[in-house]
Every structure is written in C-alpha cells, then in structure tokens.
Structure 1
Amino acid sequence: MTTSPASCANPDDVQLVAANLAEVHRRIRDAGADPSRIAVVAVTKTFGLTMVRAAAALGLTSMGENYVEELEEKRHDTSELALHWHYLGSLQSNKINRIVRSADVISGVSREKEILKIAAAREGAIIDVQIDLTREAQRNGCEESEVPHLVHVAREAGLDVRGLMTVASPDAFTAAGQFARVNELAGELGLRGRSMGMSDDVEIAVSHGSTEIRVGRALFGPRVHPTALT
C-alpha cells in the first residue's frame, strides 16, 4: 500500500517546487509544446528526501540520480511512494548489478559491454542509449556511428530500448543542431524516446523534438553539497 505524497511532504518545499514547475511548464509552452506531452524527470542528485517528496506531492513520479549510492538510499527511503527511478550517470562495470536492481530506467548506456551486463542481470530492462555529439573528452556517450549497432545489440539481448539520451553543447546554436540530429536518428531507428534538455536548455530541446527533459536546478534551486540525504 502506498502513502499519499502530499501527506509526507514539507509545505514550504512543495510551494517552492510548485512555483518552479510552473515556470518549467511555461518554458515548454514557449517552445511550442504541450507540457502534458513532455515527460519531466526530476533530477534529485544531491538534494534531500524532502525535495523528492515535494516533487512527488506535485505529481512528478520520475526521479533521476547519477550515483548508485544515492539511488539505492533514496529508493529505499521513499519506498512508500509510487516513484520511477532513472539512473542517469556513467555506468561502472562493478556497479551495474546494483544499478539494475534499483533503477526502473537505465540511461547513459554507451558501450556494448554495458548492454550485455545489463541483459545478463535483468531481461527486458529499460534503457536509453546515450549519444555524445559534443566531442568533449569528459562527456559520456557513444559516437553517432555507433548508435545503430548498440541499439541492435540491445534489442537482440532482450532489452527494451526506450530511446536516445544526450547532453548538448552549451552554445545554443550548436545545441539546436545536436538535438535535431538526435531526434532524427531516434526516428530512423524507430525509438519512441528522446531524452534531451536540462535546466539551461529546455526550450531548445523541446523545440527540436524532445519527449523528456531532465531538470534539477530548474525545479529545486541551486544544488547543495550532499552531506545528508534527508
């Protein structure tokens, strides 16, 4: 039996997140889309459980984490809520089994060995293939030329390839082209999802085909040091 999110949320946090969510929805509308058609993943990394509960009280059910330790703890501590957890970080081979146990959607998949490890751990796991068009050395993601092969391998391994995920360049003009290409490639591969757009580039991503945005600061404010999860 689940608990009503509103019954365990801090009213001040709910008020803050509600105002910020309204602004996110305004930005989506300004980009020419219906907010009800764009999924919002609330990226809760480094934010405490009070913010998770506030987001849930407002009807947000998809939460995103970059670190498996936070993912495990927050999932456990909010088990009374009907939440879906997205793992958004890079995949370390020695932590894939833990990620598979705790994440409902595994984004950031960019290598064949990751696909095979996920498939061995859970048949039918839902994944996004992450593509990097920025060519920045520190960015996670596969090259465009690798995407069709990775999608094929994942499908053959019995995984549910939901879509493509990307993090674009900070330059707006460059980002627009990158989002447009990811949208086009997802269509070519018959993928239903385009996880594109974060707090700073919601409008650009939505106007170029995003079906899902991943926002943390835009909902919760500036990030705090992860000294506590409560």
Structure 2
Amino acid sequence: MTPQERTAELAEGLAAVRARIAAACAAAGRDENEITLIAVTKTFPASDVRLLAGLGLTEVAENRDQEARPKAAECADLPLTWHFVGRLQTNKARAVAGYADVVHSVDRSRLVSALSESAVRAGRTLRCLVQVSLEEDAAGGPAGRGGAAPDAVPGLADEIAGAAGLRLGGVMAVAPLGADPLPAFTRLAGLAGEIRRNHPDARIVSAGMSGDLEQAIACGATHLRVGTALLGGRRAIVR
C-alpha cells in the first residue's frame, strides 16, 4: 500500500470515528470539544503515526514499552502527546517516564513511587490516571487487565497528587469483557466525581474504545482510546 493509499484509509477511519463521536455527543447533550480522541497505534508502524499527525490527530497511545519507546523516538520531531495505556511493571517505569506524557494505568502504590522517582530523575512531569478495575472481582479479570479495586481508588489518587514529578489527571478503566458497558462506565463516572471533590483539576475520564465509545460518552468520558476503528485490524509492524 502506498503512503497516499494509507493516508486515504486512515482519513476514512478518522472521519467515521469523528462522526460516531458527534452523534454520541448529540445524543448525550454534550459538546464534542469535551472529547479527546487518542489513537492506539500498537502493532502499527511509526509511519502511521506520522500520517495521523498529518490528519490532525496528535494524541497517540501505546501499551508496551518495547514498542512505544522506539516509536516515540522515531517520531520525536512531531508535536505529539504520548499516552501509555498498558499494564506497567515497576521496572519499566524509568523507561516510560522518558517519553510518556500521560500514564493511564497507575493501579498500585509501588508504581506511584517508581514513576515519581523516574519523573524527578528525568526532569519531567507525568500526568497519571488511576486505573480502576470494573470487573466483578476487582482483580483485573482473566485477561489481567489490571486496575485498582474501587475502594482503593481515592487513596491512590491522593498518593499521585502528593508525589513529586506526578500530576493527578483522573481515572481510566476498561469495560468488562462480554458485558453491557453502561453499568461499569456509570460506576467509573461516580468514582471520577468522588475524586474531583478533593482534586478539582483531575477531570480526565479515560473510557471507551472502538466497540463502546458511545456508551462511554453517555457516561461522561473525556478521553477515548481507539485503535481498530481508526487504523483497521491489527498487523505486524513493517517499517
């Protein structure tokens, strides 16, 4: 596929997603400007990131450090905001703190400490979101998606807010597999409101992907993490 053909394909996907966002916002009585669309580019090459930037989409997410780090370096000349959205091991915190602007997957105290130390060492400030487990057992589910138990979320938010080099951004969650996402996203909205009472600037609600962005918008999501609907089916990276 030529760059021109790929650009046309991405433009079509972007237009379709933006149309869905517009319709969902209209149905929910919300302003489209409240929504930040993040392109999840895992398994896609840096060339796609460049093409998306050319189309005006400069919020980019990755979920694996070993893929994100070289891709961020390759696109360092672009005005991008990099989001890390995958489960994060503490031993990867230093690497991620070097390029990520927003970390969506903070779910435990040890990770807060590791990111804080790494951000200070790098001379950067990371915006961090508390990842909330919306699985019934609040244990991340069988796929190991991670997330703090809902009753632990306020305390973890306080830890992030008080940590050097970190800034509390809000909350993030993934809807449970095979279930209606509305109850889960409604619960997330309640937790987000609880956090904002103590931290008024923590306004991000990161929820909604290709299959459930409408439900997320209806429940107050501010940031959508969309991959397949924008970029197509997953593929091996070809540089």
Q: Same fold (TM over 0.5)?
A: yes
Alignment check: 8 A CA contact 1:131 1:143 kept: yes
The count of corresponding residues between Structure 1 and Structure 2 is 219
Go from structure 1 to structure 2 and tell me whether the alpha carbon gap of 1:37 and 1:14 turns closer, same or farther (over 3 Å shift).
farther
| More moved, 215-224 vs 15-24 | 15-24
Alignment check: 8 A CA contact 1:25 1:35 kept: no
Which of 7, 14, 18 is residue 11 of structure 2 equivalent to? Answer: 18
Percentage identity across aligned positions? 36
Q: Distance in 2 between matches of 1:35 and 1:44?
A: 23
1:128, distance to aligned residue in structure 2 (A): 0.8
Q: What letter corresponds to residue 119 of structure 1 in structure 2?
A: S
Match of 2:70 in 1: 73
Question: SS of 1:210's equivalent?
Answer: coil
Q: Distance in 1 between matches of 2:88 and 2:229?
A: 25
1:122 aligns with 2:119: yes
Q: Distance in 2 between matches of 1:139 and 1:94?
A: 18
Provide structure 2 residue ranges, at least 5 long, that are not aligned to the other structure: 197-201
Q: Distance in 1 between matches of 2:236 and 2:4?
A: 23
1:89 aligns with 2:92: no
Residues 107-145 of structure 1, C-alpha deviations (whole Å, 9 max, x = no match): 111000000111111143211110011132422101100
Match of 1:142 in 2: 148
Question: SS of 2:187's equivalent?
Answer: helix
Match of 2:231 in 1: 220
Match of 2:177 in 1: 170
1:161 aligns with 2:172: no
TM-score, reference length from structure 1: 0.90
1:80, distance to aligned residue in structure 2 (A): 1.4
Matches for 1:30-109 after TM superposition, within 5 Å: 30-32=23-25, 33-109=30-106
TM-score, reference length from structure 2: 0.87
1:172, distance to aligned residue in structure 2 (A): 5.4
1:205, distance to aligned residue in structure 2 (A): 0.6
Q: Distance in 2 between matches of 1:44 and 1:14?
A: 15
Q: Distance in 2 between matches of 1:172 and 1:146?
A: 23
Residues 7-62 of structure 1, C-alpha deviations (whole Å, 9 max, x = no match): xx922222111111111111112213443321011000100122111111111111
| More moved, 60-69 vs 164-173 | 164-173
